[in-house]
């Protein structure tokens, strides 16, 4: 007997044995639910696809059958194999309920209830006259539900009209609502869910026009299906029993703030005793921790304004994002005793966070360049430093790293630094800037210093200063503008051996010149508003400029000759974009793509981007088949001297493309397959020679890798394990070598993009 014929006999035999092991555990008189099938009958003129109807009915069918592979319910088998745990904790309980799955039995299935649900669903989707009946079919130890569907003709919308009293206040306001976003349109197939969504849209529009007490339930819809061409006319009107308060717009009478609210001793909110009138707002402040402007600035409306849901949400967002309140809630009530209420009082209850806190962090790390180390930081924060909700943050940190490699044994590295920043919950500018955003803008002023010692090389002193604004145009559009961004670094305390190399290698001397990076930067971030609504698009763009103003007054004829305060100033223009696109293919299966394009153009006093501004590639979040900073630029294979002595292995240009398929495995385990491609290049040959420069033949320099990954999703944390294999290494290709066989393991937290 051949090996192949042995497999043909053994596989069905094994499947039979496993199936029998499930069957013997089933309660007497029950079967394992296999799922549902549908027999669809329809008029020849009905062009609806059967596959679409089956998919829709399957989505609402209950219960869902157990998962299976080639028809075998492997999770049920595992559930029985593990057995009943003695307690609801421990490994056995976890294995049974996370990897295994409780059987879905025939007694849980009601074909009558499902048939009625299917019938209602089809009618609500416009298939008027549909009917569904259900029955069951038993095969072995499994039971299958079988439904006969008589599908009616789909009805489409012929017209949609409102029936209103145009002389009434609410009638005029409904007619004023723009119809460009109307959800019930002529020609669309009738869909009850769309009618409900249109009611909600109208309600949201009215909520922004003062109708606080209005509800979608106050709108009634009529559907006239007497037309002879399978069309319907839809009419909306207000119900006769709609309360008077719901059809009149409300205005704000009083706004009352409780900035020190506590559930322990809540103050009476109906008394004006102890309140101050500040900028038209009543404030009961017994602590006086915040100044008057900070207390009232988040409120985006004033007494006399029409009630607006948009203004209400904007105000709540602004209070929460000041960063000084732990809880924020509000309440509206009718002002006065009247049969036709037209005025509201609004109360805001604000529970403050502790003013000061301190946080310590300790961690360890390993690097792809054979270094391992540890780091620690201590951060102290004052959330209201100057009574204007300013966050004063003081941070100190330190780190060390060393290597077991013989060539790097003496090159231990140490870092010690600190920074002080003040974050204002508003624009702080010499001129007035209008602030009407849903989230408060933030102005940050930061100054920092770092001392870094590379034992076998040198000491670096870094000084940083930045003044920036961050604001959200909306929940999905964010801007950051830093009109002032300054970095100054000075190299000193050279090791004698390294100092001797500086005269021999001109590039190393340039890399260690005193450097001043003074410029501005701007960043824009956008993502699809509804990240759960299907395809998700993400965009991040950055512009970084340095030395432009200095160059106007201090022009140079040769690179690295212009100085400001004994430092050589950098001149460049740098742009980069990060585009991402997530396409759902099925439930929990997503195809995710990323494109990164970056270009830095050094000019004037610079031949290449400062090392701290260069583009890098490779590693756990980039090309996962290559270690970080071990690929490129171009077809260059960097030397040990370059990797050891250059502060960075990077380039002036970057192109990176990533594509990844993400899918579920078992319980919290998720899987992925990926392909990465890209490289970096330089503008000038001074660092790596002509092999590293960007040319018209840049596509020949593209590195390529592929791999698989496993992710453990713990909800609050995602651990990622990726295995990448290089398929094309530009430096190896130029030397006629095969990069296959170099497997790279990556361990990281979170998704790569």
The secondary structure of 297-327 as a DSSP string is: TT----TTPBP-HHHHHHHHHHHHTTS-EEE
Whether residues 30 and 137 fall in one domain: yes
The answer to whether residue 723 sits within a structural domain is yes
Same domain, 320 and 255: yes
| Residue 228 and residue 257 share a domain | no
The answer to the question of residue 21 being in a domain is yes
Tell me, yes or no, whether 147 and 161 share the same domain.
no
* 233 shares a domain with 142: no
Which of 18-27, 170-179, 482-491, 539-548 shows the lowest mean pLDDT across its residues? 18-27
Q: Is pLDDT at 21 greater than 60 in this prediction?
A: yes
> What number is the average pLDDT over the span 130-153?
95
Q: Which residues partner with 133 through β-bridges?
A: 148
What single string gives the DSSP state of each residue in 562-578?
-EETTEEEP-EEEEEEE
Cβ-contact 480, 523 below 8 angstroms: yes
708 forms bridges with which residues in the sheet? 673, 723
Count of domains for the chain: 4
Q: Please tell me whether residues 241 and 257 are part of one structural domain.
A: no
Decide if 325 is inside a domain. yes
Residue 648 lies in a domain: yes
pLDDT in tens, 599-639: 999 999 999 999 999 999 999 999 999 988 788 899 998 88
Average pLDDT across the chain, whole number: 90
pLDDT tens digits along 148-199: 999 999 999 999 999 999 889 999 999 999 988 899 999 999 999 999 999 9
Model confidence at 420, pLDDT cuts 50, 70, 90, reads: very high
Structure tokens at 525: 């971030």
Mean pLDDT for 281-309 is 94
Tens-digit pLDDT profile for residues 668-693:
899 999 999 999 999 999 999 999 99
402 within some domain: no
Q: What pLDDT does 6 receive?
A: 44
Encoding tokens for residue 712? 């453990």
Helix, strand, coil shares of the chain as percentages rounded to 5?
20, 40, 40
pLDDT at 13 over 50: no
pLDDT category of residue 10 using cuts at 50, 70 and 90 = very low
> What pLDDT does residue 5 have?
46
Residue 515 has pLDDT above 50, yes or no: yes
Which pLDDT value is given to residue 8? 44
Find the range with the poorest average confidence among 166-175, 263-272, 281-290. Answer: 263-272
Q: What pLDDT sits at residue 2?
A: 52
End-of-domain residue from the set 216, 247, 278 = 247
Angle of helix 3-23 relative to helix 74-82, nearest 10 degrees?
Answer: 60
Query: Which of 98-112, 370-384, 723-737 bottoms out in mean pLDDT, i.e. has the lowest?
Result: 723-737
Residues 282 and 332 in one domain: yes
Question: Concatenated DSSP letters for 105-157?
Answer: BGGG--HHHHHHHHHHHHHHTTBTT-EEEEEEEEETTEEEEEEEEEEPPBPEE
pLDDT of residue 370: 61
* Mean pLDDT lowest among 73-77, 306-310, 416-420: 73-77
Residues of the domain holding 111: 3-151
- Interval 725-737 mean pLDDT: 80
Q: Which of 328, 352, 376 is the last residue of a domain?
A: 352
Any domain includes 416: no
The per-residue pLDDT for 138 is: 94
Tell me: do 207 and 345 sit in the same domain: no
182 & 284 share domain: no
pLDDT digits (tens, 9 = 90+) for 560-574: 999 988 899 999 999
CATH of the domain at 283: 3.10.20.310
Taking residues 363-386, report their average pLDDT: 84
Q: What is the DSSP letter of 247?
A: G
Measured CA distances, 239 to 2, 217, 220, 221, 475 (Å) = 79, 8, 6, 9, 35
pLDDT higher than threshold 60 for residue 15: no
Of 151, 169, 197, the residue that ends a domain is: 151
Are both 307 and 346 inside the same structural domain?
A: yes
Single pTM value for the model: 0.81
Give 263's pLDDT tier (boundaries 50, 70, 90): confident
pLDDT at residue 23 greater than cutoff 50: yes
Q: Does residue 564 form part of some domain?
A: no
Do 278 and 294 sit in the same domain of this protein? yes
Runs of H (alpha helix) within 216-269: none
> Does residue 135 share a domain with residue 197?
no
Say yes or no to pLDDT of 269 above 90: no
Closest by CA to 623, choosing from 645, 648, 654, is 654
């Amino acid at each position: 007997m051949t090996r192949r014929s042995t497999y043909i006999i053994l596989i069905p035999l094994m499947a039979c044995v496993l199936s029998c092991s499930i069957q013997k555990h089933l309660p007497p008189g029950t079967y394992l639910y296999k799922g549902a099938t549908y027999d669809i009958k329809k008029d020849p003129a009905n062009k609806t696809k059967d596959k679409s109807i089956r998919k829709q009915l399957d989505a609402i069918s209950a219960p869902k059958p157990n998962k299976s592979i080639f028809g075998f319910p492997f999770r049920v088998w595992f559930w029985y194999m593990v057995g009943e745990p003695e307690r609801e904790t421990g490994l056995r309980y976890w294995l049974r309920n996370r990897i295994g799955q409780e059987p879905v039995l025939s007694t849980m299935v009601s074909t009558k209830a499902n048939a009625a649900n299917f019938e209602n669903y089809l009618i609500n989707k416009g298939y008027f006259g549909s009917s569904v009946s259900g029955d069951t079919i038993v095969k072995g130890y499994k039971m299958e539900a079988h439904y006969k569907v008589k599908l009616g003709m789909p009805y489409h919308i012929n017209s949609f009209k409102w029936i209103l009293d145009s002389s009434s206040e609410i009638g005029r306001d409904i007619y004023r609502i723009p119809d460009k976003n109307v959800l019930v349109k002529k020609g669309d197939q009738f869909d009850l869910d769309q009618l409900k969504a249109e009611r909600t849209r109208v309600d949201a529009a009215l909520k922004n026009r003062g109708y606080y007490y209005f509800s979608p339930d106050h709108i009634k819809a009529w559907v006239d299906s007497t037309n002879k061409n399978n069309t319907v006319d839809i009419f909306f009107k207000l119900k006769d029993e709609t309360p008077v308060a719901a059809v009149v717009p409300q205005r704000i009478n009083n706004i009352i703030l409780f900035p020190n609210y506590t559930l322990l001793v809540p103050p009476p909110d109906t008394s004006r005793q102890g309140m101050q009138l500040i900028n038209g707002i009543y404030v009961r402040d017994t602590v006086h921790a915040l100044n008057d402007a900070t207390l009232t600035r988040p409120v985006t409306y004033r007494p006399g304004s029409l009630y607006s849901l948009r203004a209400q949400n904007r105000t709540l967002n602004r209070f929460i994002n000041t960063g000084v309140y732990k809880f924020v809630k509000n309440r509206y009530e009718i002002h006065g005793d009247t049969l036709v209420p037209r005025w509201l009082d609004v109360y805001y209850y604000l529970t403050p966070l502790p003013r000061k806190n301190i946080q310590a962090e300790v961690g360890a790390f390993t690097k792809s360049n054979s270094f391992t180390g540890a780091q620690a930081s201590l951060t102290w924060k004052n959330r209201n430093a100057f009574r204007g909700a300013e966050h004063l943050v003081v941070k100190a940190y330190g780190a060390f790293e060393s290597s077991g490699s013989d060539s790097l044994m003496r090159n231990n590295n140490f870092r010690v630094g600190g920074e002080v920043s003040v974050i204002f919950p508003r624009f702080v500018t010499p001129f007035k800037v209008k602030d009407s955003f849903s989230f408060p803008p933030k102005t940050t002023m930061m100054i920092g210093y770092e001392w870094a010692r590379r034992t076998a090389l040198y000491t670096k002193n870094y000084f940083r200063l930045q003044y920036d604004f961050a604001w959200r145009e909306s929940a999905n559009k964010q801007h950051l503008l830093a009109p002032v961004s300054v970095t100054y670094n000075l190299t000193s305390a050279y090791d004698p051996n390294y100092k001797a190399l500086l005269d021999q290698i001109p590039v190393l001397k340039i890399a260690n010149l005193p450097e001043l990076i003074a410029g501005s930067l701007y960043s824009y971030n956008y993502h699809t508003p509804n990240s759960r609504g299907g395809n998700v698009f993400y965009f991040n763009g950055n512009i970084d400029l340095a030395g432009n103003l200095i160059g106007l007054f201090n022009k140079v004829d040769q690179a690295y000759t212009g100085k400001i305060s004994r430092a050589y100033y950098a001149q460049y223009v740098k742009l980069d974009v990060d585009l991402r696109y997530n396409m759902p293919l099925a439930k929990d299966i997503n195809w995710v793509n990323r494109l990164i394009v970056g270009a830095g153009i050094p000019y004037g006093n610079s031949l290449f981007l400062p090392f701290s501004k260069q583009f890098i590639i490779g590693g756990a979040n980039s090309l996962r088949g290559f270690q970080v900073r071990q690929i490129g630029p171009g077809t260059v294979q960097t030397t040990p001297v370059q990797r050891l002595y250059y502060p960075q292995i990077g380039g002036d240009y970057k192109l990176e493309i990533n594509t990844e398929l993400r899918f579920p495995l078992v319980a919290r385990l998720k899987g992925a397959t990926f392909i990465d491609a890209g490289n970096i290049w330089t503008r000038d040959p001074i660092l790596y020679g002509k092999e590293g420069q960007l040319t018209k033949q840049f596509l020949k320099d593209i590195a390529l890798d592929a791999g698989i990954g496993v992710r453990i999703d713990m909800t609050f944390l995602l651990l990622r394990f990726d295995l990448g294999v290089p398929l094309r290494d530009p430096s190896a290709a130029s030397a006629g070598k095969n990069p296959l066989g170099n497997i790279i393991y990556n361990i990281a937290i979170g998704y790569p993009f």
